[in-house]
Structure 1
Amino acid sequence: MRLTDAAGLVGVLAILLAYAAATLGRLDPKRPLSLFANFAGAGLILLSLAHDFNLSAVAMEGSWALVSLAGLLRIGWSRLRGR
């Protein structure tokens, strides 16, 4: 197994664990931990796709990363405004 494959699998695990925790009510999907797990997971999957490119998977994971990043930025901006 290549390092990029291992990174992709860790990314899949991060996203699935965050989704399962949110579904079971153990993790708020709007909180930074969930958003970061999704962002990092998608980033790791994108890393694995850099070696074995697949356009539809890159589009999906790129979108997933951007949505998660937007949520993290929203939280960051609201915290900055609150100071």
Structure 2
Amino acid sequence: MGPELDVFAFIGFIGTACIIGAYFYLTAVDKPNPWLLHGTNLVGAALLFTSLLKHTNWPSLILEGFWAAIAIWGLTKALRGRRRTEEGAREA
């Protein structure tokens, strides 16, 4: 039998659920909210990264680092878009 599940494994399961949920959301809706999509992906990546620090799997650890970076980029892009929209509304 394999190793027993510890708190880090459960943290990883929650992270996995976040990423799967975000991907389902992206697929299910016509115009996804970038804050919800990228925020959920970032939380999922952070939780999986935490789990992988204890149960190291280097390829997966690197993948989660990139996943988090892409989510941060998406959140930054959404923030810039919001600022442009607010500036345009003030000028009108």
TM over 0.5: yes
8 Å CA contact retained: 1:21, 1:27: no
Q: Which residue of 1 aligns with 2:13?
A: 9
2-side partners of 1:17 and 1:61: how far apart?
16
- Would the alpha carbon gap of residues 14 and 26 (structure 1) be closer, same or farther in structure 2, given more than 3 Å must change? farther
Asked if the contact 1:27–1:34 (Cα under 8 Å) also holds between the matched residues in 2, the reply is no
| RMSD (Å) for aligned C-alpha atoms | 1.7
Determine which of 67, 72, 75 is the counterpart of 1:69: 72
2:55 counterpart residue number: 52
Q: 1:4 to 1:67 in 2, by over 3 A?
A: same
CA deviation after TM superposition for structure 1 residue 37, in Å: 0.5
Q: Give unmatched runs, 5+ long, in structure 2.
A: 88-92
Percent pairwise identity: 27
Q: Which runs of 5+ in 1 are unaligned?
A: none
TM-score, normalised to structure 1, is 0.86
* Distance apart, 1:21 and its partner CA: 1.8
What is the rounded CA distance, in whole Å, between the counterparts of 2:18 and 2:31 in structure 1? 13
Seen in structure 2, the aligned counterparts of structure 1 residues 58 and 24 have a Cα distance that, compared at 3 Å, is: same
Deviation at 1:25, TM superposition (A): 1.9
- 1:27-59 deviation digits (Å, cap 9, x = unpaired): 61x611010000100110000000011110011
Deviation at 1:77, TM superposition (A): 2.9
Task: Quickly say closer, same or farther: Cα 1:10–1:52, change in 2 above 3 A.
Answer: same
